[in-house]
Amino acid sequence: MEVYGVKLENQANPRISELLALICPRKAARLQGFLSELDLRRSLLADLLARYAISQKLKVPYSQIKIYDGKRGKPCSIPCVSFSVSHSAQYAVCALGESKGVGIDIEKIRDLNRAVVGAVCSDCEKAFICRNGEADFNAFFKIWTAKESYAKCENISMDESLARLESMALSVSGTLIDYERLSGRCFCQTDTELSGYVISVCATEREPMGSVNAYSEREICDCALFSAYPKIPYWCRKSPGECFNAGLFRHLGYNFGICS
């Protein structure tokens, strides 16, 4: 299982309009309806990150990758690849696998009303979360993201996921929790590699979760724009004295030298 991540920058992105023109028009129109610029950027970057990840996996030019909403809004791609995206706070992530079904979810660890814990967790899970007398929200978000990633993997609603996984078994070892459906058909693993966040991936076949391939917002946006507008001169820079990450663009057919 390959996992890619992109961290949003703290300042607004001045190239939003250009980037929206590169994605599915229907999705672009939906994103433009978002009230929060941060929500728009998270969703947009998740789409752009998925295209980059798929181009890397298939060794296909970035410009040939298309992302669209399939059944129940599940993201699909042309060429067809099993993938899933998620975003929370400052991160967007994408998982690609060999299984027929793949799901991913990321959440920033934060305090919640304990009523939320009671609403989404079984008695066994609540006992695990509150085993020290107070709610352990790190543990809660491991369970929550596992259920969310399972729902995406199976392309079902979260309500269905909560009901089906109410009695799932917990096996705790360090920062990793393994969940296995009683049918043995769907597997999930959770990790906290990104400080302050929990990521869960789920697949219909057992696949080990690799380290997160992390990129900046600028790198993913530059990749998208260079692919769409190949005549842009390569001497463009991120900032004075700093060159573009040449390795990020080599699969697009560019030969980057040293900028001076």
CA distance linking residue 24 with residue 21, whole number of Å: 8
Give me the number of domains the chain comprises: 2
CA distance linking residue 33 with residue 190, whole number of Å: 33
Least confident of 49-58, 75-84, 203-212: 203-212
Q: Are residues 189 and 258 in the same domain?
A: no
Domain hosting residue 155, numbered range: 102-206
Q: Are residues 249 and 202 in the same domain?
A: no
Least confident of 17-26, 44-53, 134-143, 222-231: 222-231
Q: Which helix (H) or strand (E) holds 119?
A: helix 114-120
Determine the pLDDT at residue 160: 67
Mean pLDDT of the chain: 79
Q: Are residues 23 and 76 in the same domain?
A: yes
Q: Are residues 31 and 59 in the same domain?
A: yes
Where would I find the beta strands (DSSP E) of the chain?
Answer: 2-7, 66-69, 75-78, 82-88, 91-97, 102-108, 171-173, 176-180, 187-191, 197-203, 212-216
Q: Residue 20: what residue type?
A: L
- CATH code of the domain covering residue 192: 3.90.470.20
Indicate if the pLDDT at residue 223 is higher than 50: yes
Q: Are residues 127 and 182 in the same domain?
A: yes
Indicate if the pLDDT at residue 252 is higher than 60: no
Q: Are residues 179 and 241 in the same domain?
A: no
3-class state of residue 251 by DSSP: helix
Q: Are residues 15 and 58 in the same domain?
A: yes
CA distance linking residue 249 with residue 238, whole number of Å: 14
Q: Are residues 114 and 189 in the same domain?
A: yes
Q: Are residues 176 and 249 in the same domain?
A: no
CA distance linking residue 1 with residue 96, whole number of Å: 6
Reported as a single tens digit per residue, the pLDDT across 110-127 is: 998 878 887 778 777 788
Reported as a single tens digit per residue, the pLDDT across 39-66 is: 999 999 999 999 999 999 998 888 889 9
Q: Which of 190, 206, 222 is the last residue of a domain?
A: 206
Q: Are residues 12 and 49 in the same domain?
A: yes
Q: Kindly indicate the confidence band of residue 259, based on its pLDDT and cuts at 50, 70 and 90.
A: very low
Task: Report the predicted TM-score, pTM, of the whole model to 2 decimal places.
Answer: 0.82
Question: pLDDT: is 37 or 156 the higher one?
Answer: 37
Measured CA distances, 246 to 64, 131, 158, 234, 250 (Å): 20, 49, 41, 10, 7
